[in-house]
Amino acid sequence: MTKKAFQDYYPEHFSHCYGCGRLNEHGMQIKSYWDGEEAVCVHLPKAFHTGGAPGNVYGGLIASLIDCHSMGTAAAAKCRAENRELGNEPALRFVTASLHVNYLLPTPMGGPLEIRSRIKEIKGRKVIVESCFIAEGKVCATGEVVAVQIPEHMITVDGKK
C-alpha cells in the first residue's frame, strides 16, 4: 500500500492533530481517500473509546472523526476544484468553523467505523462537507461541517511549512 492519504500531504507544522496528524504519536492518525465523488475514512476505535454503555462507541469520537475527516476532505476537494495536486505548494489547510452531528442510532463497538462524505458547497474559502457515519452497514450518525481555508501566511510558521 503506497497510496497516500489526504493527511499525508499536510504541512509538517499542521500535522500534530490528535485526530489526523501523522506526527501525533498518541493520536488516531486517521486516513482519508477519494472513492469517486465520496471521501472515505475507515477507523477501528480503541477498546476504551466507549460511550456510557460499554457496547457503544463514544459520541465524542464520532464527532471527532467526522470533524477531522471533513477537514481533509475540504482540502482535497478545494484542490480538485482548482485542478491542482494535493501536495503542491502552497498547501491548503482548513479549520472547522462549525460542526453539526445528528446521532441516529447507537454505534456498536467491535468493528471498523466508516465515514463517507460529499461536498455540499465550495464557495470562496468555505467548504461544506456532509457525512454519513456507518457501522455494521447502518448509518448511525450524520454530520455537516463548515470548513474555512486558513490564510497562507498562517500556515507558514517561523519559516516552517
Bridge-based pairing state of the strands 113-123 and 94-103: unpaired
- Distance in angstroms (rounded) separating the CA atoms of residues 156 and 134: 36
- In the bound state with a second copy, the residue whose beta carbon lies nearer, of 39 and 71, is 71
Out of 41, 101, 119, 129, the only residue in the binding site for a second copy (CB under 8 A) is 101
Q: Which stretch binds a second copy (CB under 8 A): 6-14, 31-39, 84-92, 119-127?
A: 6-14
Binding part of the chain for a second copy, among 8-16, 80-88, 120-128, 129-137 by CB under 8 A, reads 8-16
Amino acid at 56: N
Among 95, 121, 136, 151, binds a second copy (CB under 8 A): 95
The residue (of 36 and 52) whose beta carbon lies closer to a second copy is 52
* Residue 108 touches a second copy, criterion: CB under 8 A: no
Q: Which CA distances in Å does 157 have to 50, 56, 152, 160?
A: 37, 40, 10, 5
Residues found in the chain = 161
Q: Which C-beta is closer to a second copy: that of 86 or that of 101?
A: 101
Interaction mask 41-80, a second copy, x per CB under 8 A: -----x-xxxxxxx---xxxx-xxx-xx--x---------
Looking from the CA of 55 toward its CB, the CA atoms found within 13 Å total 3
**Cα dist from 103 to 62, 72, 82, 134, 142, whole Å:** 9, 22, 34, 11, 7
CB 93 within 8 A of CB 150: yes
* Residue 148, strand partner residues: 95, 126
Q: Which residues are at the interface with a second copy (CB under 8 A)? A: 10, 13-21, 24-27, 46, 48-54, 58-61, 63-65, 67-68, 71, 93, 95-103, 106, 157
